[in-house]
Amino acid sequence: MKTVTFKDKTFRVSISEAELLKAVDNVAEKMNADLEGKNPLFLIVLNGAFMFASDLLKRVEIPAQLSFVKVASYSGTASTGRVTELIGLNEEVKGRTIVIIEDIVDSGRTMYGMVEKLKSLGADDIRIATLFFKPEALKYDLNIDYAAMNIPNDFIVGYGLDYDGYGRNLRDIYTLINS
Ligand code: IMP
Ligand code: MG
């Protein structure tokens, strides 16, 4: 059994690159049908989504713009609650179709904040495309338009996802071994 160890944690291979690419293909096919004529702006969430975005967007054939953003979330005032900032967003989103490209939706807090932010900027149609979705962990009211794979509530690394910065470059997915 193929394993990797980073610092104090050991992970076991759980999803192969071939399975990932098949799931990515399916999402691309859906997008090519759904987004035709919509002139979407894809917002790729760094760092985790870089590998997913690369494989997915090579397979998207409709005219589209791409931009890379980082998401920062902090507590605002009592009336504003949590505030999400999109670092690196230089494009106008008002009136546009926005497709967020994310690595994984866990509690949904990151994506909820990002959707609220894009709404406040006047985006017309906001869609979420995530490589992984953990349905059992979801705590926010979110609509996931494109989930390449649903997975159990385990911690994973590889294909862009990290443990303390390690594991992002692995071509397969590895799951934390509980011990
Ligand atoms: P959420 O805001 O709770 O949905 O968490 C989403 C973020 O937490 C993701 O963008 C990842 O950066 C990180 N995350 C959640 N689950 C995992 C995992 O299993 N492995 C690596 N990172 C994860
Ligand atoms: Mg992320």
Q: CATH number of the domain that 102 lies in?
A: 3.40.50.2020
Question: Does any ligand 1 atom lie closer than 6 A to the CB of residue 128?
Answer: no
Asked whether the beta carbons of 19 and 172 are under 8 A apart, the reply is no
Asked whether the beta carbons of 94 and 81 are under 8 A apart, the reply is no
Cα torsion 58, 62, 67, 73: sign: negative
Question: Does any ligand 1 atom lie closer than 6 A to the CB of residue 120?
Answer: no
pLDDT, greater one: 21 or 179: 21
- Residue 167 Cα to ligand 1 midpoint, Å, equals 14
Q: What is the domain range of residue 21? A: 17-151
- Residue 62 Cα to ligand 2 midpoint, Å, equals 25
Specify if 85 maps to a domain: yes
Which helix or strand (DSSP H or E) is residue 58 part of?
Answer: helix 50-58
Specify if 89 maps to a domain: yes
Tell me the per-residue pLDDT of 125-174, one tens digit each, with 9 for 90 and over.
999 999 999 999 999 999 999 999 999 999 999 999 999 999 999 999 99
- Report residue 179's pLDDT band, with 50, 70 and 90 as the boundaries: low
Q: How many CA atoms lie less than 13 Å away from 129 in the CB half-sphere?
A: 29
> Which residues are catalytically annotated?
106
Specify if 25 maps to a domain: yes
Specify if 136 maps to a domain: yes
Tell me the per-residue pLDDT of 25-36, one tens digit each, with 9 for 90 and over.
999 999 999 999
- Give the count of domains, the chain: 1
CB burial class (10 A; 0-12, 13-18, 19+) of residue 164? Answer: exposed
- Report residue 52's pLDDT band, with 50, 70 and 90 as the boundaries: very high
Specify if 101 maps to a domain: yes
Residue 82 CB contacts under 8 Å (≥ 6 apart), including other chains? 73, 74, 75, 76, 109, 113
Specify if 157 maps to a domain: no
Question: Does any ligand 1 atom lie closer than 6 A to the CB of residue 107?
Answer: yes
Specify if 1 maps to a domain: no
pTM across the whole model = 0.96
Asked whether the beta carbons of 163 and 177 are under 8 A apart, the reply is no
| Ligand 1 probe mutation, 43, 82, 103, most atoms within 8 A of CB | 103
Ligand 2 ion: nearby residues, β-carbon < 5 Å: 48, 103
Question: Does any ligand 1 atom lie closer than 6 A to the CB of residue 168?
Answer: no
Specify if 121 maps to a domain: yes
